[in-house]
Amino acid sequence: MKSFFIYSEKDAAFEYSPGHPFRPERTIRTYQLCNKYHLFNEPWISVVSPEPVPNEALLLFHTEKYLSLLKAAGRGEMNLDIATAGIGTSDNPIFPGLFEKSNLAAGGTWVGGDRVMAVEGKAIAFNTMGGFHHAYPDGAEGFCYINDLAVFGKYLRKNGKRFAYIDIDVHHGNGVQDAFYDDDGALVISLHQSGHTLYPGTGFENEIGSGLGRGYTINVPLPPQTDDELYLMAFHEIVPAAIEAFKPDLIIAQLGIDTLSNDPLALLCLTNNGYVKIVRSISDMTEKLVATGGGGYNIDNVVRGWTLAWAAMNGLFLDDPFVGSIGGALRGTEIEGGGLHDRHLYITGPTKEKNEEEIRRVISYIKKNVFPILGAKG
């Protein structure tokens, strides 16, 4: 087994704008916490620096004009074309070196994917700076400028590889879905808060692909206040059977952690206990895994969750020597007296019953309308 954690402190030390909810510093803090728990000490684990994505690879998904606009905006230029491309909004602000910073974040996924594909046998890469699933070929959207996931996916398809994409971010991965909507060599699966109640307003269960790709897009929209139990039920009813039927050469996983209960931008109610079970399940499904970060706007949640996720991907059990020893103003990232894991959270009563009914309806729709096309059992 080989495992690659993609990281550069220099490349994560910037901000979108003062007060912006997307804070790249979470990557630095995740690395620091993983290091504190000795999660880079195993012989199969390497820490690898990102590199920019080559221009010819970016052009597999993005337009040349759009890339030029990103470069111009990062130099301080502003014109109507830049604004029309979604650059310079409150969600997607302009900052110095916009193109270079975005391309290096995407390059972590590119480098990680290259390392994974070069290894015989089990291989994992985790680029916490990646996961920009909303960006379109010619536009920025939802804090995303360069869609690292679509770029790497297009590269894989160009080289004849079949991949499955699993997105557990609370927001639907609209940019990735659209990139492969008519492609039967890419199985795109997204579990997310329903578009009826959250940006980007897409990702409903009847969005199942078109043309040759019909049946190769699976969306599991979830109602607000979905908890660990119901999320895990939905995941295990749908994802393993679909992956088994599709038999991908590798899995790309977008591991956004804004599904947790106190994330300020969404309304699901997971804990990192449920989140880590999902990450472990994804890792167990494949010999080749390219994982990225994604959403997550409570930084302590993000840092603890991604540290646990990295341990889970590598089959490591965290014997936490810090439990009970950290608290008060100096507690650091860990929750007071409790180490890395969240306290359990259970939704009960009419809300739980209503949510279960809705999720079972979605599962039934997918099994009736998508599983027969894939040849999946369920």
pLDDT in tens, 129-138: 999 999 999 9
DSSP code at position 342: P
**What's the CA gap between 375 and 378, in Å, rounded?**
10
Task: Choose between 324 and 203: higher pLDDT.
Answer: 203
List all residues 6 or more positions away from 136 whose beta carbon is below 8 Å from its beta carbon. 147, 175, 178
| Active centre residues (catalytic) | 134
Question: Which segment of 112-116, 191-195, 319-323, 347-351 scores lowest on mean pLDDT?
Answer: 319-323
Q: At residue 336, does pLDDT exceed 50?
A: no
What is the CB neighbour count within 10 angstroms for residue 65?
11
Q: How confident is the model at residue 328 (pLDDT cuts 50, 70, 90)?
A: very low
> Which domains can be identified in the chain, with CATH numbers?
2-321+341-374 (3.40.800.20)
Q: At residue 110, does pLDDT exceed 90?
A: yes
Instruction: Give me the mean pLDDT over the 102-124 stretch.
Output: 97
For residue 273, the model assigns a pLDDT of 96
For residue 59, the model assigns a pLDDT of 98
**What's the CA gap between 267 and 219, in Å, rounded?**
18
For residue 319, the model assigns a pLDDT of 65
Instruction: Give me the mean pLDDT over the 352-373 stretch.
Output: 98
For residue 21, the model assigns a pLDDT of 97
Task: Choose between 258 and 337: higher pLDDT.
Answer: 258
- Computed over every residue of the chain, the mean pLDDT equals 95
For residue 317, the model assigns a pLDDT of 83
Q: How confident is the model at residue 308 (pLDDT cuts 50, 70, 90)?
A: very high
Q: How confident is the model at residue 11 (pLDDT cuts 50, 70, 90)?
A: confident
Q: Tokens in use for 34?
A: 């993983």
Paired sense of beta strands 217-222 and 250-254, if any: unpaired
Q: At residue 330, does pLDDT exceed 50?
A: no
What percentage of the chain carries pLDDT values higher than 70?
95
Instruction: Give me the mean pLDDT over the 249-263 stretch.
Output: 98
CA angle 38, 7, 248 (to 5 degrees): 95
CA angle 132, 295, 41 (to 5 degrees): 90
Instruction: Give me the mean pLDDT over the 14-29 stretch.
Output: 96
Q: At residue 325, does pLDDT exceed 50?
A: no
DSSP code at position 16: S
What percentage of the chain carries pLDDT values higher than 90?
93
**What's the CA gap between 217 and 207, in Å, rounded?**
7
Strand partners, 187: 164
Question: Which segment of 40-44, 225-229, 247-251, 319-323 scores lowest on mean pLDDT?
Answer: 319-323
Is pTM, for the whole model, over 0.85?
Answer: yes
CA dihedral 366, 173, 298, 195 (to 10 degrees): -60
For residue 378, the model assigns a pLDDT of 82
Instruction: Give me the mean pLDDT over the 222-246 stretch.
Output: 98
